[in-house]
Structure 1
Amino acid sequence: ILTPILTLTLTLTLTPTLTPTLTPTLTPILTLTLTPILTLTLTPILTLILTPILTPILTLTLTSAQDADGRCVCTVVAPEQNLCSRDAKGRRLKRLLEKVQNMTQSIQILNLRTQRDFQYIMRMENQIKGLRSRFRQVESDRRTHVSKNFQELKGKMASLQPLIPVLEQYKTDTRLVSQFQEEIRILSAVLMGIQEEGGADDYEELRPRVLKLETRLHSCMNKLTCGQLMKISGPLTVKTSGTRFGAWMSDPQEPLQNNRVWYMDRYTNNKIVKEFKSLSDFVAGVESRTYNLPFKWAGTNHVVFNGSLYYNKMQSNIIVRYSLETGRVVTQRALQSAGFHNVYPYTWGGFSDIDLMTDELGLWAVYATNQNAGNIVVSKLDPETLQILNTWNTEYSKRNAGESFMICGTLYVTNSHLTGAKVYYAYSTKTSTYQYIDIPFHNQYFHLSMLDYNARDRALYGWNNGHQVLFNVTLFHLIKTEEES
């Protein structure tokens, strides 16, 4: 709730990526909550209309300008709130407006995730057209060409041919997003008009329209497939707290409207976990619950997944699953042959031998064994029983890795925990193959002791020398066609 004397300045950087936006503390008595996807993106293909809906009774004055670096700087001035929200119908309208806002944000996510891919496919379309022309020329006069060259060209054409229906699907989805934007804009205007007039008779009529639009949007977003890491940007400093080493995280299985944060300071000799109801509470230091774990943890590579905390028990290779709802250990299991207690840590040490992580495919453990000569081992775990479902042995030394994280079944490894670090190595569990890559990221505070991917937020959570930070990731992925869906 903004006060009539507040002026908020938002700097919106025009990039094709998703920027989880910090929830800053603006005054000693005021905390303003901004959603993790409040980013305006302008491309030749799509232009999202940003329609902030803060409360059902709040109207905004918005002006914009451009700074020296070409970034758009928007100023929002909020008037004083009235008291009509006490009315029961007003509260129902408020909930409906919030649903429209959530859908607006979801559309922004969909748009951001497809822009880069669409541009890539457009380039591929030009290549297809060029190859098609060359192919026709070769076909018409193939007797004068060497058979090997002809077959090679034909193979390239065949590999690019499947991209044509994908391109057409992107064009269709682009039109869908535009339709969604227009429908939400109209609904928002109608709802605000009803509220201003003090009548809510049309609420029941509007509600089915919102639900129908929401269903269509979810259907469109479900076409997104797993992606490949292309870029890391940021970091965004959320807070500065604790010691040099620690972990903080949210549950990727929770709904978008829930944004609880868990905080575990230090890498050893501690068993106190702090919970915050929201990111804004975390920034403000307002705890909602404290857990006293039965066992101390080792390292900083813990994870919260589907309501449970998974961590490495100190001075052992035992993984503990702790229910955050009941406050009890559900199960614990030894990770056979895994080194522990600084036998095979990351380069910074800190008992980081066993790294637990999640992605779109579930729960993983990354560690090293004597049998694999100290190189990284990746195991897929059953989140209920902690049994190993499958294991892959890599040839990358665990001690030479700075940090690592999983995205869509691929392990990404950084070459250092210090300044100048980059994602250097990628191992695909789908194909059991690896490649050396070069994806730099800004290690702003010089010493990274935790880096984990959150599939819901599409962001990397990091602990950087006592600073809790977020890195934005750009993934390349295709949209499934109707047949694949």
Structure 2
Amino acid sequence: SFFFSTCSYTGFYVFLQALYPSPEEGWQIYSSAQDADGKCICTVVAPAQNMCNRDPRSRQLRQLMEKVQNISQSMEVLDLRTYRDLEYVKNTESLMKVVDGKLKVASENPRSLNPKGFQELKDKVAQLLPLLPVLDQYKNDAKMILRLREEVRNLSLVLMNIQEEMGAYDYEELRQRVLLLETRLHSCMQKLGCGKLTGVSNPITVRASGSRFGCWMTDTMIPSSDNRVWYVDGYFKGRRVLEYRTMNDFVKGQNFVQHSLQHPWAGTGHVVYNGSLYYNKYQSNIIVKYHFRSRSVLVQRSLSGAGYNNTFPYSWGGYSDIDLMADENGLWAVYTTISNAGNIVISRLEPQTLEVLQTWDTGYPKRSAGESFMICGTLYVTNSHLAGAKIYFAYYTNTSSYEYTDIPFHNQYSHISMMDYNPRERMLYTWNNGHQVLYHVTLFQVIKTSGD
């Protein structure tokens, strides 16, 4: 109990009532009396510890703690990416130095190398030289990550102290620090996470389950601590979506809940973005946004002019007219229209309203494509869904230009019906003839110096 003196009992009671409308929500007055001078003595009992959690400021602090936790987990992913890329660049730097050394020897003694060999050596060095500024940039970014990690650690300590001593720190200032840190982290991740696709790893088979066609995915939103896996078997008329708690649970086929969609899906081009499933409604060009937590449809909108019902599918068919995907730049729809003569169209979507923000005509026939996926605003298209397929075409939305590529990947089970990129993990998720398969991707970006 606490004793408050030199107060007006009535005024103090009204003050407590204003702060806490009912006894269950806060401090409670049990008795009062007057001293010899006529001043009141109020006996007040503090609420139980769990009641303090209902304080709005406590809720705000918990939200901040969750933000910091998300930032920390995202930084771990970023740290892993940076380490992997830095090792790659270091190895390339060593190769460049060896080649450059041979070039110097040849320059000092031209007779030791014939003209053709000399030119080939020069060309190789010219191709490798841009890696030097890239190496310097990766080193600087690695130092930046260390500084950001230290800031997160310090901020976490501050938050823990505040939870012990409420009111010891200004909440608004703390919130601004978190927002600033999130902005800096997002900028850093955009910088390190984006680049040109240069390679795809060997396949990693996670599980063999379901029919020949289907879709599986994790949430693509950055940053996120969500480790759930979603599983959709079949390519049309289905309504059943399984949600696994973790990737390990998915591998074992345990700990899942089932969502029954109000509207059936078409194709396998679904995507989970920021807690919602985006998919093409069966026998229509309507896109549906289904929210997992509320188990409800938040919005649905027609994709104007888009073909559907196997009018413009990928080469494997399967009602794959509309393919929804996400990357570092947001939410996308890949489809085609009659006015575009069956060529692939890319539209960037507003995630809340599903309005089309911008559209590009790639000029690539969709029926000739096996599958496609977006990385850093670039659409990559495979030339087949069968064995021997390769990534054959790339369209850059930032420059509205394209090029033909030759990036091989091993189509282990010979029939891919879904291939999507997850920017949070920098991996390709594929459904390959009843197998759920992952590929690591290698992204590379040459940073030009001021003299270029």
Q: TM-score range by the shorter chain?
A: 0.5 to 0.7
Asked whether 1:114 is paired with 2:52, we answer no
1:234 deviation in Å?
Answer: 2.0
Which residue of the partner structure matches residue 366 of structure 1? 334
What is the identity, as a one-letter code, of the residue corresponding to 1:321? Answer: K
- TM-score, normalised relative to structure 1: 0.61
Which residue of the partner structure matches residue 106 of structure 2? none
1:339 to 290, 307, 322: 307
Asked whether 1:417 is paired with 2:385, we answer yes
Q: Distance in 2 between matches of 1:171 and 1:262?
A: 37
Asked if the contact 1:122–1:167 (Cα under 8 Å) also holds between the matched residues in 2, the reply is no
1:277 to 230, 237, 245: 245
Residues 369-380 of structure 1: pairs in structure 2 closer than 5 A: 369-380=337-348
Q: Distance in 2 between matches of 1:466 and 1:355?
A: 19
Asked if the contact 2:219–2:226 (Cα under 8 Å) also holds between the matched residues in 1, the reply is no
Q: Distance in 2 between matches of 1:279 and 1:480?
A: 39
1:223 deviation in Å?
Answer: 4.6
Instruction: State how many pairs are aligned.
Output: 332
Between structures 1 and 2, the one with greater helix share: 2
Deviation larger for 247-256 or 430-439: 247-256
- TM-score, normalised relative to structure 2: 0.65
1:283 deviation in Å?
Answer: 1.0
What is the identity, as a one-letter code, of the residue corresponding to 2:80? Answer: Q
1:289 deviation in Å?
Answer: 1.7
What is the identity, as a one-letter code, of the residue corresponding to 2:384? Answer: S
What is the identity, as a one-letter code, of the residue corresponding to 1:459? Answer: M
Unaligned runs of 5+ in 2: 1-70, 104-125, 151-163, 165-180
Residues 440-479 of structure 1: pairs in structure 2 closer than 5 A: 440-477=408-445
Residues 33-432 of structure 1: pairs in structure 2 closer than 5 A: 106-117=78-89, 166-173=134-141, 223-224=191-192, 226-253=194-221, 255=223, 257-432=225-400
Q: Distance in 2 between matches of 1:276 and 1:245?
A: 19
Q: Secondary structure at the match of 1:282?
A: helix
Q: Secondary structure at the match of 1:325?
A: coil
CA 1:418–1:389 in structure 2 vs 1: closer, same or farther (change >3 Å)?
same
Deviation larger for 122-131 or 225-234: 122-131
CA 1:163–1:468 in structure 2 vs 1: closer, same or farther (change >3 Å)?
closer
Asked if the contact 2:89–2:131 (Cα under 8 Å) also holds between the matched residues in 1, the reply is no
CA deviation map 1:245-275 (0-9, x unaligned): 0000000226554310001100012101110
What is the identity, as a one-letter code, of the residue corresponding to 1:112? Answer: R
Q: Distance in 1 between matches of 2:390 and 2:130?
A: 33
Q: Distance in 2 between matches of 1:259 and 1:130?
A: 49
CA 1:297–1:177 in structure 2 vs 1: closer, same or farther (change >3 Å)?
closer
1:368 deviation in Å?
Answer: 0.9
Asked if the contact 1:117–1:476 (Cα under 8 Å) also holds between the matched residues in 2, the reply is no
Residues 7-46 of structure 1: pairs in structure 2 closer than 5 A: none
Asked if the contact 1:269–1:296 (Cα under 8 Å) also holds between the matched residues in 2, the reply is yes
Identity score, percent: 55
Q: Distance in 1 between matches of 2:148 and 2:258?
A: 42
Unaligned runs of 5+ in 1: 1-98, 132-156, 184-203, 205-214
CA 1:385–1:128 in structure 2 vs 1: closer, same or farther (change >3 Å)?
farther
CA 1:402–1:180 in structure 2 vs 1: closer, same or farther (change >3 Å)?
same
Q: In terms of Rg, which structure is larger?
A: 2
What is the identity, as a one-letter code, of the residue corresponding to 1:394? Answer: T
CA 1:105–1:253 in structure 2 vs 1: closer, same or farther (change >3 Å)?
closer
CA RMSD of aligned residues (A): 3.9
Q: Distance in 2 between matches of 1:411 and 1:222?
A: 17
CA 1:222–1:391 in structure 2 vs 1: closer, same or farther (change >3 Å)?
closer
Q: Distance in 2 between matches of 1:101 and 1:307?
A: 17
Q: Distance in 1 between matches of 2:328 and 2:357?
A: 16
CA 1:270–1:345 in structure 2 vs 1: closer, same or farther (change >3 Å)?
same
